[in-house]
Amino acid sequence: MKVSTPTRLTLRVVALGYLVVLLLVPVVLILWRTFEPGVGAFLDSVRTPAAISALNLSLLIVAIVVPLNVVFGVGTALALVRGRFRGRGVLQAVVDLPFAVSPIVVGVALIMLWGVGGWFGFVERSGFKVIFGLPGMVIATLFVTLPFVVREVEPVLHEIGTEQEQAAATLGASSWQTFWRITLPAIRWGLTYGVVLTVARALGEFGAVIMVSSGFPGVSQTLTLLVHSRYLDDHNTYGAYAAATLLMGLAVVTLLLMTVLDRKRSTR
Amino acid sequence: MITVSGARKSYGDFTALDDVSLEIPPGSLTALLGPSGSGKSTLLRAIAGLETLDSGRVAIAGVDVTGLPPQKRGIGFVFQHYAAFKHMTVRDNVAFGLTIRRRPKAQVRAKVDELLEIVGLEGFQHRYPSQLSGGQRQRMALARALAVDPEVLLLDEPFGALDAKVRADLRRWLRRLHDEVHVTTVLVTHDQEEALDVADRIAVLNKGGIEQVGNPVDLYDRPANDFVMSFLGSVARLGGLLVRPHDIELSRDRAAAVAADRSVPGSPGVIDAVVERVVRLGFEVRVELRAHTGERFAAQLTRAEADALALRPGDEVHARARQTQDVLEVDPALAI
């Protein structure tokens, strides 16, 4: 299709303007506000005990959630692609559920399930804190990040098929050896991509986590919760900007990592 | 030696193998030949253990392997689409079976080097499969299968994904390799030319059963039935009989044709026909004809014969069969 020059230019301006106003302006604004008083102020603000604790908690949740998602994600993807069982269609739909359900609903559901009066309330009553503790936040994050590894690994498994695995079997490899030496290396890029998405989502999760966290600064606040409480409860606007910048920094590192890996994948 | 007895396999309503029994002698290169859906691949995969039989038994070198997984059958398997391990170099691909068996490194290295030389891939050790051509990949897959010193080598349409020229080169190469290595080899193919070219024995399969087993010459000259005859080489239907196109003689002189035809037992007689088209295919000439009964058939002539007759479309000729095939109507199970 041939488009006249003025039309083309207008379209470009509209598209770029849309992106700038929607994505770039807010991010730049926060960066500007953060570094306006100088880098020292930023460092001071993210080195308070509450901020360090929040960073640690966020990273701890990521460190627990990623391995669990890798193991169960790969297992689920294998079952979905290779399995021939009843209810495969149902499983397919269930995996996508976290995309459809609002995180805040997840939080409420978790309280109803694990809270003192819930079905699994006996755990809470026996003294093991799930809701308003780390386990609750981990479960909430697991829920919202569950689809990423599955959905990234699944198409790769489809693409590689089963011939390489059959060849390994005829060459004497046990199913365990075949998985480690053939299947896992073949899906490693899809898996990496899934992990990166999981990390980004786990760091940024807010709605589900705020419902199941007690929200004490320095104890049970993740970075997102810290931004929220500094801004709304403490009226510490600058502190909120600084924490947000830290959060963005982590996200940007993850994103860069993903881009580098993606480039590496396409050159191979 | 491989012995298959009473093999049955069905997928839902489709019967892939219907009571198949076959014996493959040690050191032979046997082709399983048949159209798609004839059960030839299923039979091969059942020998490998990649497919479980509904009933029947498989024995390799005198050992009943029916209940054993592929890992324990002492086989080498080559897939149509290479099944190369894409994330490994050529060296690691070929070494895979030996690494799995935890052989000493020096021994693995020596064996891999030897195999790469046999398959003509020396100098390609550090390449990845994606950097090889289709033919090279398949030779790598062969080296990989041979590395574990298999009792039998099983090839599932190994040249099916390659273009015609490479395919012809590779199958001659496989024949030479087999003469050197002497491992009992079974090759699945739907290409009769390939089977005639490389195999010393051919089993023709159709609809889940074996039609005939024998050496290529016997199968071509004494096919057990019309299916084997029409599947191995081309055929023409002359006066209701199946005849090889190169056994059809054309003549402009009807009386001479009738006289010559008297000495051919069971001949369909002399058929009057009109030339529709003359196609020159290098050293041979295919003449497409229409009998006065309306039946169309093709005769295959040498260039000299065609030149002597100087045929043109529309010419009247008289066709007769130089010889007829004595189709052996024997029980295929007894033909083993």
In a domain, A25, yes or no: yes
**Does A32 share its domain with A51?**
no
Q: How confident is residue B7, by pLDDT bands cut at 50, 70 and 90?
A: very high
Q: Which of A166, A171, A182 shows the shortest C-beta gap to B97?
A: A171
Distance CA A150, CA A193 (A): 11
**Does A141 share its domain with A22?**
no
**Does A121 share its domain with A19?**
no
End-to-end CA separation in angstroms for chain B: 14
Nearest Cα neighbor of B158 from B193, B187, B184, B117 is B187
**Does A115 share its domain with A152?**
yes
**Does A139 share its domain with A231?**
yes
Q: Which of A172, A182, A188 shows the shortest C-beta gap to B85?
A: A182
Alpha helix segments (H runs only) across A2-83: 5-19, 25-35, 39-46, 49-82
| Token pair recorded at residue A96 | 């996508």
- The more confidently predicted of residues A265 and B70 is B70
In a domain, A116, yes or no: yes
- Cross-chain Cβ contact B144/A171 below 8 Å: yes
- Cross-chain Cβ contact A173/B50 below 8 Å: no
- Cross-chain Cβ contact B77/A164 below 8 Å: no
| Token pair recorded at residue B58 | 């498989």
Closest approach of chain A CAs to the CA of B312, in angstroms?
A: 53
pLDDT number for residue A76: 95
In a domain, A66, yes or no: yes
**Is A186 part of the contact surface with chain B (CB cutoff 8 Å)?**
yes
- Cross-chain Cβ contact A171/B50 below 8 Å: no
CB count within 10 Å of CB B226 equals: 15
Q: Which residue range(s) make up the domain with A94?
A: 47-267
Asked if B181 and B146 count as a contact pair (C-beta separation under 8 A), the reply is: yes
| Token pair recorded at residue A38 | 């100088």
Q: A185: phi > 0 → left, psi -120 to 50 → alpha, else beta; which?
A: alpha
In a domain, A42, yes or no: no
Q: B123: phi > 0 → left, psi -120 to 50 → alpha, else beta; which?
A: left
Interface residues of B toward A, Cβ cutoff 8 Å, are: 48, 50, 69-71, 75-77, 79, 81, 83-87, 96-97, 100-101, 141, 144-145, 147-148
- Cross-chain Cβ contact B71/A174 below 8 Å: yes
CATH for A226: 1.10.3720.10
pLDDT number for residue B11: 93
ipTM score above 0.95? no
* Number of domains making up chain A: 2
Asked if A232 and A177 count as a contact pair (C-beta separation under 8 A), the reply is: no
Query: What φ, ψ does residue B264 adopt, rounded to 5°?
Result: -100, 115
CB count within 10 Å of CB B211 equals: 22
What is the DSSP secondary structure assignment for residue A96, as one 8-state letter? Answer: T
| Token pair recorded at residue B168 | 């012809």
In a domain, A183, yes or no: yes
Distance CA A57, CA A65 (A): 12
**Is A185 part of the contact surface with chain B (CB cutoff 8 Å)?**
yes
In a domain, A41, yes or no: no
pLDDT number for residue B335: 39
- Cross-chain Cβ contact B83/A172 below 8 Å: no
**Chain B residue numbers touching A164 (CB-CB < 8 A):** 83-86
E strand residue ranges, A77-194:
none
pLDDT digits (tens, 9 = 90+) for B269-314: 888 999 999 999 888 999 999 998 888 889 999 998 888 888 889 9
**Does A24 share its domain with A64?**
no
pLDDT digits (tens, 9 = 90+) for B116-172: 998 889 999 999 999 999 999 999 999 999 999 999 999 999 998 888 888 888 888
In a domain, A19, yes or no: yes
Closest approach of chain B CAs to the CA of A189, in angstroms?
A: 11
**Does A146 share its domain with A82?**
yes
**Does A138 share its domain with A95?**
yes
- Cross-chain Cβ contact B70/A166 below 8 Å: yes
**Does A182 share its domain with A260?**
yes
pLDDT number for residue A10: 93
Highest average pLDDT, of A98-112, B87-101, B257-271, comes from B87-101
**Does A132 share its domain with A18?**
no
- Cross-chain Cβ contact A172/B101 below 8 Å: yes
- Cross-chain Cβ contact B87/A186 below 8 Å: yes
Distance CA B272, CA B291 (A): 6
- SS3 labels along chain B: CEEEEEEEEEECCEEEEEEEEEEECCCCEEEEECCCCCCHHHHHHHHHCCCCCCEEEEEECCEECCCCCHHHCCEEEECCCCCCCCCCCHHHHHHHHHHHCCCCHHHHHHHHHHHHHHCCCCCCCCCCHHHCCHHHHHHHHHHHHHCCCCCEEEEECCCCCCCHHHHHHHHHHHHHHHHHHCCEEEEEECCHHHHHHHCCEEEEEECCEEEEEECHHHHHHCCCCHHHHHHCCCCEEECCEEECHHHEEEECCHHHHHHHHCCCCCCCCCEEEEEEEEEEECCEEEEEEEECCCCEEEEEEEHHHHHHHCCCCCCEEEEEECCCCCCCCCCHHHHC
Nearest C-alpha in A relative to B84:
A164
Cα B262 to chain centroid, rounded = 37
- Cross-chain Cβ contact A166/B85 below 8 Å: no
Which residues fall within 8 angstroms of residue A263, CB to CB, at 6 or more apart?
A: none
Closest approach of chain B CAs to the CA of A158, in angstroms?
A: 14
Distance CA A169, CA A166 (A): 5
Closest approach of chain A CAs to the CA of B63, in angstroms?
A: 17
- Cross-chain Cβ contact B76/A182 below 8 Å: no
| Token pair recorded at residue B47 | 């020998």
Tell me the pTM: 0.81
**Per-residue pLDDT of chain A in tens (268 residues, 90 and over written 9):** 677 888 999 999 999 999 999 989 998 999 999 998 988 999 999 899 999 999 999 999 999 999 999 999 999 999 999 988 888 889 999 999 999 999 999 999 998 898 888 888 888 788 788 888 899 999 999 999 999 999 999 999 999 999 999 999 999 999 999 999 999 999 988 998 899 999 999 999 999 999 888 888 888 899 999 999 999 888 899 999 999 999 999 988 988 887 887 777 665 5
Pairing of strands B201-206, B209-214: antiparallel
- Examine the pLDDT at B331 and tell me if it is beyond 70: no
- Examine the pLDDT at B332 and tell me if it is beyond 80: no
**Chain B residue numbers touching A167 (CB-CB < 8 A):** 77, 79, 83, 85, 141, 144
Q: How confident is residue B326, by pLDDT bands cut at 50, 70 and 90?
A: low
SS3 assignment, position A32: helix
**Is A266 part of the contact surface with chain B (CB cutoff 8 Å)?**
no
**Does A142 share its domain with A22?**
no
| Token pair recorded at residue B127 | 């390449």
- Cross-chain Cβ contact B81/A167 below 8 Å: no
Whole-number mean pLDDT of chain B? 90
pLDDT number for residue B327: 55
**Does A24 share its domain with A120?**
no
